[in-house]
Amino acid sequence: MYNSGPAFENSAATMSSREFARMSSFIYEQCGIKMPVTKKTMLEGRLQKRLRTLGMKNFEEYGNYLFSPEGIRLEVVQMIDLVTTNKTDFFREPEHFDYLTEQVLPEWCQKYGSRKLTVWSAGCSTGQEPYTLAMVMSEFAERQPGFDFQILATDISTRVLEKAINAVYAESLISPVPPHLKKKYLLRSKDRSSALVRIVPELRGKVRFRRLNFLDDDFGLREPLDIIFCRNVVIYFDRPTQERLLQRFHDHMRPGAHIFMGHSETLSGLDVPLISVFPTVYRKMK
């Protein structure tokens, strides 16, 4: 077991080509994320934090630890937390939420009545997306008697999930939230100098968070999904992994269910039985 705390000056530690190839291959095997040579500097910079924490002087030492039985047990999750990208915002790509409330939800209510809607925020990062969904659907519920929903939010990073569960955000991050929703769903800290807000308990209660790796054999989803938000996630995978992942999403979707992708993502050319119904929104064929 390595002691925490910097025992060496390693801010300039660099990976050899062999070490990078070994590490990038391992990352791909563990979570499907492609790590081309162009990301070598980024990977070095992020993992140097672990070298300092573990008191290691170079990447060879870190690699030997990572691939040891103890490292596999204790370090892999830490490493994945650092190498995954976690960019997110409240009301990101707002046209998706307009389409959701104007088209998808009314149609769903007409078809299913009072059955509870099941939503999955796949790759939820620090929680802004599932809490945005909870706001939008709570507003819709006030206009639609009997409508109810539940949101599952998952991410591979335990670090961002902790932040999501805590649901505390800097005021600078909530500017995309419309003023009337800020007043309704955000609590300001009693310490005004902290400039922090927290999602109200009623909204937090609508979202369940857990860790999930898209390469897991079992997603742990025990009922079919009506809506999946998986935006700006599959772009980090290579094409074969994208196709396998989207096929698995499809298998967990109810007939007629929708999946929302990121603005830079497309299913064009992928062998997945989903049809386009709106820019970067797809539907499972009935």
User: Which listed residue (22, 46, 188, 248) is catalytic?
Assistant: 46
The conformational region for residue 18 under phi > 0 = left, psi -120 to 50 = alpha, else beta, is alpha
> Residue 152's beta-bridge partner residues?
120, 208
Q: What angle do CA 175, 164, 262 make, to 5 degrees?
A: 65
The conformational region for residue 175 under phi > 0 = left, psi -120 to 50 = alpha, else beta, is alpha
Give the C-alpha separation, 112 to 117, whole Å: 9
Nearest to 227 by CA among 126, 165, 140, 164: 140
Strand, coil or helix: 105: helix
User: Which listed residue (52, 81, 155, 204) is catalytic?
Assistant: 155
Amino acid of residue 275: I
> In b/e form, how buried is each residue of 245-255, taking b as 16+ CB within 10 angstroms?
bbeebbebbbe
Q: What angle do CA 256, 260, 262 make, to 5 degrees?
A: 155
Q: What are phi and psi of 56, to 5 degrees?
A: -105, 150
Indicate if 155 belongs to the active site. yes
Give the C-alpha separation, 77 to 80, whole Å: 5
Strand, coil or helix: 30: helix
Residues 246 and 280 sit within 8 Å (Cβ to Cβ): no
Give the C-alpha separation, 68 to 62, whole Å: 10
Sole residue written with tokens 């960019």: 87
Catalytic residues: 46, 155
